[in-house]
Amino acid sequence: MTASISDQLLAWYDVHARDLPWRVPPGNALPDDPAWPYRVWLSEVMLQQTTVAAVKPYFAKFTAVWPTVEALAAASDDDVMAAWAGLGYYSRARNLLKCARAVAERGGFPDTEAELRKLPGLGDYTAAAIAAIAFGRRAVVVDANVERVAARLFAIDEPLPAARKAIRAATDRITPDTRAGDFAQAMMDLGAHVCTSRAPRCLLCPLAGDCEGRKAGEPERLPVKPAKKPVPERRGAAFWITRNNGAEVWLVTRPGTGMLGGMRALPDDGWTARSDGSGEGPLAGAWRTLGAVRHGFTHASLTLQVDALETSTAPEGEGQWWPVERIGEAGLATLFAKAAQLALAED
């Protein structure tokens, strides 16, 4: 059964593999190019909790501006954070730079899981994916798509996250010694387009005959997920502070750690609701409340009131006056880009 599953899946992948800019066609030799592991690593970091469609333009931009890990390592934090803006989960961008600099310092990517795990920001999944896809090592690669395929294939009905140990062991049993990278990507593609979360397309699945979840008649039930906890609601305010008749806006850089760390942003109140709802900001003046924007994070939902002031005085603390006509080049995180759009629409 084990050999049959890997053989069937690889045969399916040879025909149906997605054409992605960070992949080689199935069955092809890995490129003899030091930039190849860099491209695999970059794609894997970008794809964490993000769709392929969203990642593609960012991957193209990064590899055009920084074609090697050495080039990325030499980039400024501000430039990289600005280029990442809109992709979300900004701690990934901070870890990306740390890892690039560590790799450049050691002279390239290591080619084993154990050594890859020693790099900043690389967990078990990313290390396994790079080892398998970039270097052809046998590694057990389990992302959300693979997790779903394995849970259904072996009818693992223990609730997550406790089920992950059994899911990994099951994936290990079917991972072949050769073409491990192709196998990992085949499992990902199968989960993304056939063994989907809802309405799995079992009639198109090359593993349907071996799938215990399908035989039980309810593959969509697996993997069993814990009940979602309610997402807390938070409120706060952002400040659109302009000078020269609105030609320039005051921007700050958020602290390097914490939410949206290292990103350019509008000044804010720390996302703490003000009891009086006033438009009082970091400077004295005739503040106007323009409205509010909403944004969802994984841990909370935020409503951000946007207050505006025209002034000739810079607020206290570090920041910079930024041309409003070039606000799109500032690399604002999505939350503050929404606030800027609201301010521009109101003005």
Q: What is the DSSP string of 4-70?
A: HHHHHHHHHHHHH----TT-PPTTPPPP--THHHHHHHHHHHHHTTS-HHHHHHHHHHHHHH--SHH
Cα separation of 153 and 200, whole Å?
12
Q: 288 — phi, psi (to 5°)? A: -120, 135
User: Is 70 tagged catalytic?
Assistant: no
- For residue 54, the Cα-to-chain-centroid distance in whole angstroms is 9
Cα separation of 255 and 64, whole Å?
28
Q: Which of 44, 70, 113, 147 is catalytic?
A: 44
**Residue 295's beta-bridge partner residues?**
302
Name the amino acid, one letter, at 87. Answer: L
Q: 121 — phi, psi (to 5°)? A: 80, 0
Distances (CA, A) of 344 to 104, 186, 325: 42, 46, 10
Nearest Cα neighbor of 6 from 156, 140, 201 is 140
Terminal CA-to-CA distance of the chain, rounded, Å? Answer: 66
Residues with a catalytic annotation lie at 44
